[in-house]
Amino acid sequence: MKLELLHQPDSAVAKVLLDPQEEILAEAGAMVAMSSSIDVSTTLRKGKGGGVLGGLKRMVAGESLFISVFRSGGSAAELYLSPTLMGDILPYTLSGTELVIQSTSYLASTPGVQIDLGFTGFKSLFSGESLFWLTANGSGLALLNAFGSVYEIDVDGEYVVDTGHIVAFERTLDYSISKANKSWAGAFFSGEGFVCHFKGKGKVFCQTHNPGSFGRMVGGKLPPR
């Protein structure tokens, strides 16, 4: 498999060149264009425990993960994958360390990477964020997307990230969520909402823009639904 990332960081698209009989998993709906020889099938990824995610009943966009499996036939084939929001794509190679990924940041992964839903480290404190988190394990490549550009912080000590700006982080880090300010009034007015304090050693991948803020800004100007 060969990977080429085009149009970074504004509107990144992943051009995947599959060898014969090769497979890649991607978030359903990510396919832009492909050689006609590629075979596709789509399944619903369920949460831990094999049962259907409790959240399935609500079906809010983002609470369940539909995965499409793209398989090339007898000859090499190409496939273009794109995320929903404008922004960059980050390739991350897994080899032992568990990676926690924000659900809307998952774009694609190779079959050796195990994607699981149901990471309950962060309880739903995020009003309006409707985020949930995935864990990636195993070995292979994971493609993550961001709203905006991605910047990597090598934490060695203490670092604070606004929760709407987290793309993914390595599980070697300790993390705790709190309001940005000491007082509740401060937190409400500051607009910072919730932040995550990372401690220890490990990488955090941040996105420069916050989908929730942008969504509210544009959504607020649209006719009611």
Residues 7-66 that bind another protein (CB under 8 A): 7, 9-13, 28-29, 31-36, 38-44, 59-61, 64, 66
Question: Are the CB atoms for 131 and 61 separated by under 8 Å?
Answer: no
User: Partners of 39 in the beta sheet?
Assistant: 71
- Tell me how far, at minimum, the Cβ of 112 lies from another protein, in Å: 22
- Residue pair 136/102 in contact (Cβ under 8 Å)? The answer is no
- With beta carbons less than 8 A apart as the criterion, state whether 129 and 102 touch: no
Q: In the complex, what is the shortest distance from the CB of residue 139 to another protein, in angstroms, rounded to a whole number? A: 26
Question: For residue 32, with 0-12 CB atoms within 10 Å meaning exposed, 13-18 middle and 19 or more buried, which class applies?
Answer: exposed
Q: How many residues bind another protein (CB under 8 A)?
A: 78
- Residues 25, 201, 162, 48, Cα dihedral to 10°: 40
Q: Which residues inside 67-126 make contact with another protein, applying CB under 8 A?
A: 68, 80, 82, 84-88
Exactly one of 134, 165, 168, 169 binds another protein (CB under 8 A); that residue is 165
Among the listed ranges 3-11, 47-55, 111-119, 136-144, the one in contact with another protein (CB under 8 A) is 3-11
Q: Given the complex with another protein, which of 94 and 210 has the nearer CB atom?
A: 210
Q: Is residue 184 within the footprint of another protein (CB under 8 A)?
A: no
Q: Shortest gap between Cβ of 68 and another protein (angstroms)?
A: 6
Check binding of 219 to another protein (CB under 8 A). yes
Of positions 49, 50, 74, 224, contacts another protein by CB under 8 A: 224
The angle at the Cα of 211, spanning 209 to 216, to the nearest 5 degrees, equals: 120
Asked whether position 220 contacts another protein by CB under 8 A, the answer is: yes
